[in-house]
Amino acid sequence: MSTTAINGKEIFDLLRDDIVAIEEQFGQDTVSNVAAITEIGEYLRAGGGKRIRPALLLLSAKLLGYKGAGAVKLASVVEIIHTATLVHDDIIDEAEIRRGRPAANTQWGNSKCVLAGDWLYMQAFKIAVQERNFRILDVLTELTQQMVEGELLQMEKLGRPISVAEYLDLIYRKTACLFSVCMRVGGILGGATVQQEERLGQYGRDLGMAFQIVDDVLDLTASESVLGKPVASDLREGKATMAVIHALERCTGTERVQIEAVLRDRAFNGVTHADILTILSRYGSLEYATGEAARYAESARQAICVFPDSEIKRALLWAPEFVVAREK
């Protein structure tokens, strides 16, 4: 295997024209004859985001030598699905901030945003149908159901401690499933064998697991200005994430009462964010979670190493490292 490393800028260079095309496609795909939908769609598109999911779909298709127009179309589809889930997430979480700007629901209200989210889902499938590939539709339908089920499961578990197994299931549904589907759809376009598609899916899943675990650690440790949203918002929403679960399994009764109070009250009443961080550092819980993310990242790299060497493969081998080392 080649040891030549590749960095983020080079990945962006590899995909630059395609990413520009995806932005255009996304812009066209989210225009409706109802003004509110077009406005919300444009507001969400302009909000940025890292475009990691469409980039994975493109890299996967390119890894298998795919040259058609379908990759840009479907990359736009997965970003629209991702965007629709964010709109609904923000309504459910009553979020006020998303990526450093007011969340769409604070500007248009919940009712319009629920419907705009529904419209975006249907629009994504309308475009996906144009590929005339049942396999892809199958994968996307199952994905959407998994994500909705994940949201419902999370709601049932809010405000109380959960097990590591429950947490891993939730983040699979919330994040890793979509990463996995992006890789699989790219593979399907490129004519992947069953084994290749499986490996691409595993890469996406493990990368997504690493991504979400790191996201949850950053929620506890990064500053609001870096995150673009309030710190410890998971705890404020009653969500126990990996570091918190790790500490709960090890801490004293008094410490447990403190953590559980924040989860239950969904607020820091008499217990501060600093108190929680002190407990987490006492048990090495943040390091533990970061270590688990690194384990998933390594597993992702292993899944991809059987493919023949290329620039695209090097980009995919580098991505897990980038995900674990990121600061926002």
Q: How many domains does the chain have?
A: 1
Which two three-digit tokens encode residue 55?
């980039």
* pLDDT for residue 5: 59
Residue 291 lies in a domain: yes
* pLDDT for residue 228: 80
pLDDT in tens, the chain (328 residues): 444 556 767 777 889 999 999 999 999 999 999 999 999 999 999 987 889 999 999 999 999 999 999 999 999 999 999 999 999 999 998 989 998 899 999 999 999 999 999 999 999 999 999 999 999 999 999 999 999 999 999 999 999 999 999 999 999 999 999 999 999 999 999 999 999 999 999 999 999 999 999 999 999 998 888 888 888 999 999 999 999 999 999 999 999 999 999 999 999 999 999 999 999 999 999 999 999 999 999 999 999 999 999 999 999 999 999 999 988 7
Residue 21 lies in a domain: yes
Domain containing 99 — which CATH number? 1.10.600.10
- What does the alpha-carbon distance between residue 129 and residue 100 come to, in Å, rounded to a whole number? 34
For 148, half-sphere exposure in the C-beta direction (CA atoms, 13 angstrom radius) is: 11
How many CB atoms neighbour CB 278 within 10 A? 12
Q: What are phi and psi of 309, to 5 degrees?
A: -65, 140
* pLDDT for residue 4: 54
Beta-carbon contacts of 315 under 8 Å, excluding residues fewer than 6 positions away, are 6, 10, 11, 14, 59
Domain membership of residue 95 as a residue range: 8-325
| Residue listed under structure tokens 């390119």 | 62
Residue 3 lies in a domain: no
In contact, 22 and 76? CB cutoff 8 Å: yes
Residue 216 lies in a domain: yes
- What does the alpha-carbon distance between residue 251 and residue 50 come to, in Å, rounded to a whole number? 36
* pLDDT for residue 2: 42
- What does the alpha-carbon distance between residue 123 and residue 136 come to, in Å, rounded to a whole number? 15
List, as own/partner pairs, every contact residues 303-312 make where C-beta atoms lie below 8 angstroms and the sequence separation is at least 24, other chains included.
303/199, 303/200, 303/202, 303/203, 303/206, 304/199, 304/200, 304/203, 305/1, 306/199, 307/63, 307/196, 307/199, 309/1, 309/2, 310/63, 311/6, 311/10, 311/14, 312/14, 312/59, 312/62, 312/63
* pLDDT for residue 3: 44
| Residue listed under structure tokens 């979020």 | 95
In contact, 176 and 303? CB cutoff 8 Å: no
Residue 79 lies in a domain: yes
Residue 148 lies in a domain: yes
Residue 60 lies in a domain: yes
Residue 2 lies in a domain: no
